[in-house]
Amino acid sequence: MPPKVKTSAEKQAVRTAIMDAARELFIHQGVEAVTMRAVAQQVGYSATSLYLYFSDKDQLLRAVVDADVIKLAQSLKSTLSISDPLQRFLQFGQHYVQFALTNPNHYRMMFMTQHLPCDPAFSSIEQNNHEQDAYSQLIDVVTSAWHAGVFKPTLTDPVLIAQTVWAAMHGLCALQINLADDAWINWRPLEARMQAMVSMCMHGLMKETTHE
């Protein structure tokens, strides 16, 4: 029974309701295991109605991921107010890893599964908006630390530094998320690996005087 004519606000509400249901299921069961029918049931619609709001499952996933990237940015935002550039950088990294490891399925969705590349022209995320764009936060955090002179003088490109640190931290998180339960590997405790990675990055990137 369709109680007709929805304001665009109401339509938006349905959209986000669908996204919330989808995210909930994605997170607990993994993207592939979740069916459109299951999402629909969760949100109280028939399966085909989802297609009135999202053109297909990929687009639904893309929308959820975009929203989560914004959430990540929101979560990281708290560290941006730290005044000391070095401390800000360190806390930013720690928050990132913490987010990844406490929300492994979020993280997997965002950075570890192939999906349509994120096109800034059509994304719901505003690029370079610090409220939404975690990557631009990273670039800024590293750049300001760089201006503060914490990095080795041979390192002249803050963006390259940022991408390197990101890769290192991503590797830590990704292996943990995907292979932590693999009996093949005699994993050292996660805490030890995190500490070792941070230590390697600091010694590898910063001036001697900066650490310890």
Instruction: List residues binding its own copies (CB under 8 A).
Output: 30, 32, 108, 111-114, 117-121, 123, 127, 135, 152, 157, 159-161, 163-164, 166-172, 174-175, 178-179, 181-188, 192-193, 196-197, 199-205
> What DSSP element (H or E) covers 204?
helix 190-205
State whether residue 125 is helix, strand or coil: coil
Joined together, the tokens standing for residue 169 give 């931290």
Instruction: Rank residues 11 and 28 by Cβ distance to its own copies and give the closer one.
Output: 28
Instruction: Rank residues 11 and 207 by Cβ distance to DNA and give the closer one.
Output: 11
Instruction: Rank residues 38 and 101 by Cβ distance to DNA and give the closer one.
Output: 38
Instruction: Rank residues 52 and 190 by Cβ distance to its own copies and give the closer one.
Output: 190
- Find which of DNA, its own copies, none residue 202 binds, CB within 5 to 8 Å per kind: its own copies
Q: Which amino acid is at 1?
A: M
Phi and psi at residue 188, in whole multiples of 5°? -70, 160
Least CB distance from residue 14 to its own copies, whole Å?
28
Least CB distance from residue 53 to DNA, whole Å?
8
Least CB distance from residue 46 to DNA, whole Å?
3
Least CB distance from residue 206 to its own copies, whole Å?
9
- Find which of its own copies, DNA, none residue 37 binds, CB within 5 to 8 Å per kind: DNA
Short-list 55, 52, 63, CA closest to 118: 63
Strand partners, 206: 151
Phi and psi at residue 72, in whole multiples of 5°? -60, -45
CA 194 – CA 169 distance, rounded (Å):
9
CA 70 – CA 124 distance, rounded (Å):
9
Q: Are 96 and 169 in contact (CB under 8 A)?
A: yes
Instruction: Rank residues 11 and 203 by Cβ distance to its own copies and give the closer one.
Output: 203
Least CB distance from residue 71 to DNA, whole Å?
23
Q: 132-144 burial by CB neighbour count: b if 16+ within 10 A, else e?
A: bbbbbbbbbbbbb
CA 197 – CA 189 distance, rounded (Å):
12
Instruction: Rank residues 88 and 108 by Cβ distance to DNA and give the closer one.
Output: 108
**Residues of this chain that bind DNA (CB under 7 A):** 1-6, 11, 14, 34-38, 44-49, 51-52, 55-58
Least CB distance from residue 22 to DNA, whole Å?
10
